[in-house]
Amino acid sequence: MLAYELVSCEEGSVKPAVPEIVSSALTDPRIHDLLNNRPAMIHTCAETLQQLYYDLSFPLNQFWFMCDSNRISAMNRNLVCGLKQRGAKLGISLNQGKLPPLDDYLADEISFFRAPITYYQNSQSNALPRDTWLKIASGVDNISLFQQLQLLDIKGTQGLYLPRPQTTELKRFPSNKLIALEILNLVGDINVSFEELEKLIVQDLQLYYKLLRFINSAYYGFNRKINNIKEALIYLGLNTLRSITLVIALSESTNRSPDLFYLALNRAKMCEILAESSGWSNESIFFNAGLISLLDVLLDIPMAMILSELPLSTEIKNAVLHSEGRTGAALQCAMYYENVDWQKIVDSQFNKDLAHSAYLEASRWATALQQSLMAMADSQEC
């Protein structure tokens, strides 16, 4: 994950109030959590950037400003130099046409270049961006386009595609991933007893140790030490204990990008919050469905193989595979929000304000949880 693009207005609306958006990203903890320690990429223009430069005196090192290719030449040297001195990165967005000629000074100050993947595919007829620019391709929505990027040496992508495994030579699950699947299978049953969960946890002493360490970490801040799983149950409740156990087991089972793990946590929690806000029971099913929907990405094992090994409830399977039922509706809403598809959210059974608040709350939870897990892992290595 290179940066998060903040969309300040819908296409065709009035000129976005970029200074207000920058101020919010710097001062609003909700937006700060949403960025998850990544830069904010904002599509704007030279005139707005000039207003921003003179109206605000904040450091801008966490912002990537992107101007349309046909208007980038309006950037004067003083503005470019001033923004760079305050830490901002400048980029070009090309939606159609060709890259216009740029004077050498401006070209030297450009950090990134975004264009549709079709632009890079037609590299023989289109002017290529400089080698020093980070190249970003938009519209990468399927595996075929994603694979083409590997040949074009493009490091940044925007689109709907996630690198899901299609085939595997595995005859059985690796042992480090098996415990996560066993726990997932167990916690997927809303009728599971505490004794059954405890019995499975203590089978893996490393998981048992990490679970107790996390429960006693600053994330919860209990005023006394929790010494065993039974005490954790008293303080956390069965649903929270199950969710945290599953998250820790998955974090130990995946070597994929932390950003993918964050996405899975965020999606799972948003599904749970949508269920709670709608008054639907068994919200842990919604949480599990959110995690399972990205399990193939996290474990690098095809979904068909995972589902064949997990006797999941029909409700969860139908939600993940066919977007059916209330669980499927919550999962789809979370995915619509991730893809910034406002119209589909409006057309769903959840209103836009609920989706927005649920996503922000889930983002804060996922950010805090992931940071605590990473801090715990770092302390173990020292």
- Using DSSP's 3-state secondary structure scheme, residue 243 falls into helix
Note the maximum CA span of the chain: 70
Residue 200 confidence (pLDDT) above 70: yes
Element (H, E) at 279: none
Q: Quick one: pLDDT band at residue 7, thresholds 50, 70, 90?
A: low
Q: Quick one: pLDDT band at residue 13, thresholds 50, 70, 90?
A: very low
Long-range contact set of residues 253-257: C-beta below 8 Å, sequence gap at least 24: 253/176, 253/177, 253/179, 253/180, 253/298, 253/299, 254/298, 254/299, 254/300, 255/300, 256/297, 256/298, 256/300, 257/1
Element (H, E) at 40: strand 40-44
Give the model confidence (pLDDT) of 206-258 as tens digits. 778 888 888 888 888 888 899 888 888 888 887 788 788 878 877 877 777 78
Give the model's pLDDT for residue 196: 78
Give the model confidence (pLDDT) of 262-274 as tens digits. 899 999 999 999 9
- Determine the average pLDDT of the residues in 346-360: 89
Of the candidate ranges 5-9, 21-25, 155-159, the one whose mean pLDDT is the lowest = 5-9
- Cβ burial, residue 221 (10 Å; 0-12/13-18/19+): exposed
Residue where the block lists tokens 């940066």: 3
Give the model confidence (pLDDT) of 89-130 as tens digits. 998 988 877 888 888 888 888 999 998 888 888 866 666 778
- Cβ burial, residue 109 (10 Å; 0-12/13-18/19+): middle
Give the model's pLDDT for residue 382: 46
CA distance 246 to 261: 13
- Cβ burial, residue 43 (10 Å; 0-12/13-18/19+): buried
The arrangement of strands across the sheet holding 40-44 comes to 4-5, 40-44, 63-68, 89-93, 110-116, 134-138, 156-157
Give the model's pLDDT for residue 179: 63
Greater confidence, 381 or 161?
161
Contact 379, 291 (CB under 8 A): no
Element (H, E) at 109: helix 104-109
The pair of three-digit structure tokens given for residue 306, joined into one six-digit string: 């995972």
CA distance 91 to 42: 10
Q: Quick one: pLDDT band at residue 325, thresholds 50, 70, 90?
A: very high
Structure letter (DSSP) for residue 156: E
Give the model confidence (pLDDT) of 69-78 as tens digits. 888 877 888 8
CA distance 207 to 186: 15
Of the candidate ranges 4-13, 220-229, 247-256, 313-322, the one whose mean pLDDT is the lowest = 4-13
Residue 14 confidence (pLDDT) above 90: no
Of the candidate ranges 13-27, 36-50, 223-237, the one whose mean pLDDT is the lowest = 13-27
Of the candidate ranges 52-56, 229-233, 378-382, the one whose mean pLDDT is the lowest = 378-382
Give the model confidence (pLDDT) of 121-158 as tens digits. 886 666 677 888 888 888 888 778 877 777 777 878 88
Residue where the block lists tokens 């208007």: 71
End-to-end CA distance of the chain: 27
Give the model confidence (pLDDT) of 361-375 as tens digits. 998 888 888 888 877
Residue 63: φ, ψ to 5°? -120, 140
**Count of beta carbons in the 10 Å neighbourhood of residue 185:** 15
Residue 16 confidence (pLDDT) above 60: no
Q: Which of 22, 66, 309 is nearest to 173 (CA)?
A: 309
Give the model's pLDDT for residue 10: 46
Question: What stretches of 63-128 adopt beta strand conformation (E)?
Answer: 63-68, 89-93, 110-116
- Determine the average pLDDT of the residues in 30-59: 79
Predicted structure pTM score: 0.76
Structure letter (DSSP) for residue 238: H
Q: What Cα–Cα distance (Å) separates residue 122 from each residue in 100, 128, 160, 186, 269? A: 16, 10, 22, 51, 41
Give the model confidence (pLDDT) of 154-173 as tens digits. 878 888 777 666 555 544 55
Number of continuous H segments (helices) and E segments (strands) in the chain: 20, 7
Give the model's pLDDT for residue 12: 46
The pair of three-digit structure tokens given for residue 220, joined into one six-digit string: 């919860």
Of the candidate ranges 7-11, 43-47, 230-234, 311-315, the one whose mean pLDDT is the lowest = 7-11
